[in-house]
Structures are given as C-alpha cells and as structure tokens.
C-alpha cells in the first residue's frame, strides 16, 4: 500500500518570506503523525497546502494519491475521502448538534451514522442542544464530529486542544485514540509537546520552513540516549549524578541501600527540553 | 474507498437551502425586522403622502410596488452581501470548502433562502396593504404572470449580485457600512420613495443602469392601472426591456460570483 501523504521538495513564499523552504514528508496509512513547530515555522502553510486550501510554488505533493490542487469534480471526489478539523469555527449557533451533523452527512457518499458519530465524540447528551449553548470543549468535539462524519481515510486535526483545560484535553486525547481504531490516518498539528507525545506515532519538528527531524516521540532529538539524571537521598542530603548508563548506577545503589533507595528518581530530558533545543529557543508558548 | 457517488451539487444545494431557511427562522429578531420593516415603511409613507397621483392611484399603491422591488434587493443583495463576509470571518465558509460541497451548492442554498424569505415578506406586505392601506390587487392574470416572473428573475439576480458583491467588504463587521449606503442610494434614485418621474433627469439616468429601477417599474406595471403607463419616462411599461436588463444583471452577477467568490478573507 502506498503512502497516504507524500511530499517532495515543497516550497512556498509570501513575497520575500519563504514560509516553506523545501519540505519532504511521508505519512503511512494508519499513522497518527504530529507536526510540531513554533508559530511562523511554516506548519500552517504546509498543512493548508496538503488540505488543498493553498497553492504551492514548487514541489510534488500527493495526498491519497491525488494532487490537492485538483479542481472541480475531481476535487469533490478527493474531499469525499478526507476530513478537516480547522482551528476555530464559530458559526451556525442556531442549529442543534444533531441537525448540523446530519446536514454535513449529506455532503458525503458514505457517511457514518449520525448518532454513532455524535456518540463517538461524547455529545449524545447534547444532541438536541443548540450549538450556541455548547462550551468551548463541546464545540471542539462537534468540529471533530463534522470532520469524521464522511468516514475519512485521512483526517487533518489543526491544534485541536488549544484553549482546553487539562481534563478536557485528556478526554479529547482519548477520543483521538479511539479514532485511530477506525483505521484513519491522522495528521495532527500542535503546539503542545505532551499532546504529540501522548498521541503521535511519529513527530516531525518544523522550523524556518524546514523539517529538522522526524522520529518517534521517544527517539526525537536522541532523547533515548541522552544523559539521564539519577537522584536520591544520601547521607548528606539529596545527591544526583548524570550518567549515560542509569541502570548500572542504580544497580550499584541497590548494594548500598539494601531495601529502598530513598527518593529515587531517574530523569531524562523531556520532549520539551529536546524540542526547545532543536528550535533554538524560538517562541513555543503561542 | 467508496462505490457510492458523491451526492450531486443540486441535492446538496437543496439541503443547504432547507438548513438556511431553518437558521433564518430561528433568528427571531431578524425575522421580525425583515418581515415587518417593509410594512412599517408602507405605514409611514402611506400616512405622510395621502394625495392621489392620478385618477384612483394613491401614493400607497405606487409605494407598494416600490417596496416589493426594494424587498427583492434587501432580502437578496443586501442580506447576502452583509452575511457572506460574516460567514467568511466566522470560518463557516472555510469549513465548507474543506468538504465535498461545491460552491454551486452554496449558491443554490442562498437562492432558496432568499426566495423563501422574499415570498413571505411580499405576502405579508400585500396582506397589510390590502387590509390597512387601501392597496388594490390586480385582477388581470397577465399582470400576475408578470409579477411571478419579476419575482423569480429579480430574486435570482439579487442573489447573484449579493454573492458577487460579498467580496468587497473587508470584514463581516464592516460589511453593513459598505453595503447599506449602496442600497439606500439606489432606492432613492430608483423611485422607491418618490415618484420616479419627479426625480432629476440625471438621477433617472443613473438609476436606469441598475436593476432596482427596472424591478420597481415592472412592479408598477403590475400594481398600477395601464393608463398610468403614459406617465412613465418612456410612456410605456417597457416590460420587454425590463426582462432583458434584469436578466443581463443576473448573468453578470453569476459570472462575477463564479470568478471571484472567496472562501476565506485574504490575509
């Protein structure tokens, strides 16, 4: 089976500003792929080109075997197979959740069941509620419902949890993990490192229009092999040691402390530490 | 991978029309305003100008023709040219762009909601006119035939021009300030509030370029006795010319809409 997304040498400039400066990207079927990067890194431009919202200057792009720049009937057939959850939409407040999802179902050849989708995003209780009465998190769930109603083979999720409280984010992540079971490929863009870590099979870090690295969250930036900090409470208070072999150190410690090593922690660089280093301290906070 | 075909643009357009009508009906304030405003204007003008324009033609009778014609412009052109930029700002259009729904379905949906609201508006205006302001309805079937095609063609042209004009306002918030003056000036120039032939010649000539003048004149041919045609600028109702001019505007509106329609505000 061929790749879901295949990008070679993608470039796009706005005037003198080169927003995307030669990107290569391959995303395989069934993957949750996260695109990480600070504002202005070229993340949004790249995704919008893949979504068919924007033209490109140069490069080969194939999404589900189709050039996203197609027009007319071909574009409709292509859009019938993808789902897009945009950053923020604020509309149609006078319709109910059910009415809105049922309406969007009419756009697709093979829609999922309306009730099933509303249930999947956890809005069953709000099915008859008008959209303007929904909370921010519930609205976001509705956005996802509209993104998946057409049974997409590929789903774009653009910063899905911006503005969520921690609990709502966890709940939302569970929803995305459920979606993966349906077999859809998901391209996620996010500001949040923990989000990428919780959801993504692979992460690409993009900065200044280029992809710096593509790896699993665990391996990104040589994270797995970076020095670990082992700390514990010794006779003279808290002690710590940086080592490339924490297991050996702990083995040694277990000989000293027969029972429990007091206040033992092993800390590797967090994804955030690695990421900040990679993008050279650019703004990540939004 | 589906074996089913993507639903047709027409089927989606009709579904959108139903949805838009439902949305419109739920915005109570705008429903009341849209439907009651022409009646209020008729009440005001009908009370201010009580004179007869000629044998048996009251100002209310003359004015009702103008109000119906400007209703065509208000519910179509004005509403859409204001609402579409708002939908663009809200991201409604971008979301739709990301679905298999084509622009033509969106246009069809808009024409349906415009047509439905307009028919209700005109019906209420005529009922109020007959009951309270002594407006006489035509009895000749030929006049009702003219009335029908004027409404269908006029609403289609007004819809197309509203969509075409919707690219001009830079934001939803400023749209009303850009669109409303255009409509109000056209109403003054086209003989909606005053007797057209009383207007200065240059105003008449400017108005003759735009469709509202022709819609108003067409409606006069429906609601005023044929003897009144002698008082028109051309001395006749110019029904054929009215048809062609509105049709030309409809085609122009469609072409511009298709060529320039924007899903997103340029940044």
pLDDT digits (tens, 9 = 90+) for A193-246: 888 888 999 999 998 899 988 989 888 877 777 778 888 888 888 888 888 888
Question: Six-digit token pair at B62?
Answer: 């003359």
Task: Say if B225 falls within a structural domain.
Answer: yes
Surface of A (255-284) touching B: CB under 8 A: none
> Structurally, how many domains does chain B consist of?
1
- Among A44, A107, A150, A153, the strongest candidate for a mutation testing the B interface, having the largest count of B CBs within 10 A, is A107
Task: Say if B265 falls within a structural domain.
Answer: no
Task: Say if B2 falls within a structural domain.
Answer: no
Q: Do A89 and B264 touch (CB under 8 A)?
A: no
Number of C-beta neighbours around residue A229 at 10 A: 14
Q: What is the pLDDT of residue A150?
A: 93
- Could you tell me which of B241, B253, B236 has the C-alpha nearest to residue B81? B253
Closest partner residue to A91 among B15, B22, B90, by Cβ?
Answer: B90
Collect all residues of chain B within an 8 Å Cβ-Cβ radius of residue A103.
15-16, 19
Question: Six-digit token pair at A37?
Answer: 């990067």
- For A5-216, CATH number? 3.40.50.300
Instruction: Kindly report the average pLDDT of chain A as a whole number.
Output: 87
Burial zone of B123 (CB within 10 Å; 0-12 exposed, 13-18 middle, 19+ buried): exposed
Higher pLDDT, B188 or A164: B188
Collect all residues of chain B within an 8 Å Cβ-Cβ radius of residue A88.
91
Q: What is the pLDDT of residue A101?
A: 95
Q: Do A94 and B27 touch (CB under 8 A)?
A: yes
Under-70 pLDDT residues of chain B: 1-4, 267
Task: Say if B1 falls within a structural domain.
Answer: no
Q: Do B6 and A88 touch (CB under 8 A)?
A: no
Higher pLDDT, A39 or A5: A5
Per residue in A104-127, pLDDT (tens digit) is 999 999 999 999 999 888 899 999
Alpha-helical segments (H) within chain B: 9-26, 28-48, 59-72, 79-90, 92-97, 103-132, 141-165, 172-189, 201-207, 211-223, 239-260
Q: What is the pLDDT of residue B195?
A: 83
Task: Say if B92 falls within a structural domain.
Answer: yes
Task: Say if B3 falls within a structural domain.
Answer: no
Q: How far is CA A151 from CA A123, A231, B2, in A?
A: 18, 49, 10
Distance, in Å, from the CA atom of B259 to the CA atom of B250, rounded to the nearest integer, reads 14
Q: Does the pLDDT at position A4 exceed 50? A: yes
Instruction: Kindly report the average pLDDT of chain B as a whole number.
Output: 89
The torsion defined by the Cα of B137, B143, B149 and B151, in degrees rounded to 10, comes to -20
Q: What is the pLDDT of residue A283?
A: 47
Q: Does the pLDDT at position A25 exceed 70? A: yes
Task: Give residue B200's domain range.
Answer: 9-50+57-260
Task: Say if B31 falls within a structural domain.
Answer: yes
Tell me: ipTM over 0.90: no
Task: Say if B29 falls within a structural domain.
Answer: yes
Surface of A (42-71) touching B: CB under 8 A: 51-53
């Amino acid at each position: 089976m061929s790749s879901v997304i295949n990008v070679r040498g993608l470039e796009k400039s706005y005037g003198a500003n080169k927003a995307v400066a030669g990107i290569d990207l391959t995303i395989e079927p069934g993957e949750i792929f996260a695109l990480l990067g600070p504002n202005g890194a070229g993340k949004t431009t790249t995704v919008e080109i893949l979504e068919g919202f924007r033209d490109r200057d140069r490069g080969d792009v194939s999404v589900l075997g189709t050039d996203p720049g197609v027009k007319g009937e071909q574009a409709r057939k292509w859009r019938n197979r993808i789902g897009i959850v945009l950053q923020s939409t604020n509309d149609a407040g006078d319709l109910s959740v059910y009415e809105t999802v049922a309406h969007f179902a009419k756009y697709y050849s093979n829609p999922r069941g309306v009730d099933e989708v509303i249930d999947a995003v956890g809005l069953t209780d709000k099915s008859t509620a008008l959209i303007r009465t929904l909370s921010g998190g519930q609205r976001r769930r509705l956005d996802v419902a509209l993104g998946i109603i057409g049974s997409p083979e590929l789903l774009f999720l653009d910063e899905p949890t911006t503005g969520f409280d921690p609990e709502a984010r966890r709940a939302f992540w569970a929803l995305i993990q459920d979606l993966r079971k349906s077999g859809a490929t998901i391209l996620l863009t996010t500001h949040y490192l923990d989000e990428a870590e919780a959801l993504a099979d692979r992460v690409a870090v993009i900065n200044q229009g280029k992809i710096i690295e593509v790896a699993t969250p665990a391996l990104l930036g040589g994270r797995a092999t970076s020095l670990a900090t082992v700390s514990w409470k010794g006779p003279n208070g808290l002690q710590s040691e940086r080592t490339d072999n924490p297991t050996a150190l702990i083995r040694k410690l277990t000989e000293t402390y027969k029972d429990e090593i007091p206040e033992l922690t092993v800390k590797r660089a967090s994804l955030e530490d690695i990421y900040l280093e990679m993008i050279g301290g650019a703004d990540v906070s939004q | 991978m589906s074996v089913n075909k993507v639903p047709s643009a027409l089927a989606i357009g009709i579904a959108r029309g139903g949805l838009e009508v439902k949305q419109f009906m739920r915005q109570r304030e705008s429903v009341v305003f849209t439907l009651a405003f022409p009646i209020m204007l008729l009440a005001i003008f009908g009370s201010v100008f009580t004179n007869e324009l000629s044998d048996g033609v009251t100002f209310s009778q003359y004015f009702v023709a103008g109000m119906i014609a400007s209703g065509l412009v208000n519910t179509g052109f004005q509403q859409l040219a204001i609402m579409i930029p708002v939908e663009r700002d809200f991201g409604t259009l971008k979301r739709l762009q990301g679905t298999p729904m084509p622009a033509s379905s969106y246009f069809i949906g808009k024409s349906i909601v415009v047509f439905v609201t307009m028919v209700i508006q005109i019906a209420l205006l005529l009922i109020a006119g007959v009951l309270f302001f002594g407006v006489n309805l035509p009895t000749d079937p030929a006049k009702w035939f003219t009335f029908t095609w004027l409404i269908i063609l006029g609403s289609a042209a007004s819809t197309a021009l509203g969509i075409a004009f919707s690219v001009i306002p830079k934001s939803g918030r400023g749209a009303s300030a850009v669109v409303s003056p255009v409509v109000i000036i056209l109403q003054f120039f086209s003989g909606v509030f005053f007797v057209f032939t009383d207007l200065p010649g240059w105003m008449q000539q400017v108005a003759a370029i735009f469709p509202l003048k022709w819609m108003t004149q067409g409606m006069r041919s429906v609601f005023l006795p044929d003897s009144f045609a002698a008082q028109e600028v051309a001395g006749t109702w110019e029904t054929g010319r009215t048809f062609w001019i509105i049709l030309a505007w409809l085609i122009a509106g469609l072409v511009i809409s298709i060529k320039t329609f924007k899903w997103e505000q340029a940044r």
